[in-house]
Amino acid sequence: MSVVSLDELELRLRRLAGVVAVGFVETDDLVLVEVQAGPDADDDLARDATLLAAEYVRGSVAVEVVRWGDGGPHEPEARLRLVDLATDPGVGEVTVRLARGDEEALGRASTAAGLPAAVEATIVAVRTFAPELPYLPGWARTVETTPDRRFLVVASVTDPLTRTHRRGVAEGATPIEGAVRATLSALNRSIARDL
């Protein structure tokens, strides 16, 4: 693993307020750091964990923070969810259907570029609910395939003005589903106030 000192990084992450677990996944060109946190974690946990990870990891690193409340994963009040996902190999298109409450929106993108099409289609659908969304599609990669044939995918989106990157991680029954869910994971927290 391309980490200067894995033990030291893990120890420092575990010392951050509210952190209860730290895990790592490494691919050829990315180190994924998962930080699980309880309800007493600071609001700045994602930033602090990312700064620490960047200090210790050589190359690309993605940090996923999983926050738990008293009874389960923290769910923002306003949250987009994936309703349906379809690919049409004949047309070469992926269609993503998202919902917020009873409202639904579609996003389509050409699959010519491969897995990033899922990120693009998701962003197109998200813009129906958040027209001012500053993020553009970045990339998506499958970082792990589980023994039960589920796909762990990292997706990245970028705000070109602020050069801010947001990355999300999610599982799916297919890489495309994983990429859509990972894109929502990357965006949901930042767009919640606009929904």
Partner 1 sequence: MATTNESLVAAARESTGLATVYRALDDLVDLYALDDAAVVVDVPGFGRQVLHAGRRPLRRDEQGLHAAEPGLYLEPPLDDPVVSRLMLALGTLALRHDAGAATPS
42 scored as a contact of partner 1 (CB under 8 A): no
| 15 is an interface residue for partner 1 by CB under 8 A | yes
Q: At what angle do helices 116-129 and 175-191 cross, to 10 degrees?
A: 40
User: Considering the rule CB under 8 A, would residue 68 count as an interface residue with partner 1?
Assistant: yes
DSSP 72-114: SB---SS--EEEEEEEETTTTEEEEEEEETTEEEEEEEEGGG-
Amino acid symbol at 117 = A
Q: Which stretch binds partner 1 (CB under 8 A): 8-16, 46-54, 77-85, 106-114?
A: 8-16
Give the Å distances, CA to CA, from 27 to 33, 48, 61, 75, 123. 12, 23, 10, 29, 25
With contact defined as beta carbons under 8 Å apart, do 11 and 2 qualify? no
SS3 15: coil
> Of residues 119-138, which lie at the interface with partner 1 (CB under 8 A)?
none
Q: Which is nearer to partner 1, 120 or 177 (CB)?
A: 177
Q: How far apart are CA 179 and CA 159, in angstroms?
A: 18
Select from 28-36, 54-62, 98-106, 113-121 the region that touches partner 1 (CB under 8 A).
28-36
Q: Nearest 5°: phi and psi at 49?
A: -65, -40
| Closest to 9 measured CA to CA, from 27, 23, 29 | 23
* Smallest distance from partner 1 to CB 152, Å: 8
Residues comprising the chain, all counted: 195
For partner 1, which is the closer residue by CB, 38 or 134? Answer: 38
Using CB under 8 A as the criterion, what x/- string covers residues 69-88 for binding partner 1? ----x---------------
How many of the chain's residues bind partner 1 (CB under 8 A)?
25
Contact string 142-181 vs partner 1 (x = CB under 8 A):
----------x------------------x----------
Binding site for partner 1 (CB under 8 A): 6-8, 10-12, 14-15, 18, 20-25, 32, 34, 36, 38, 64, 66, 68, 73, 152, 171
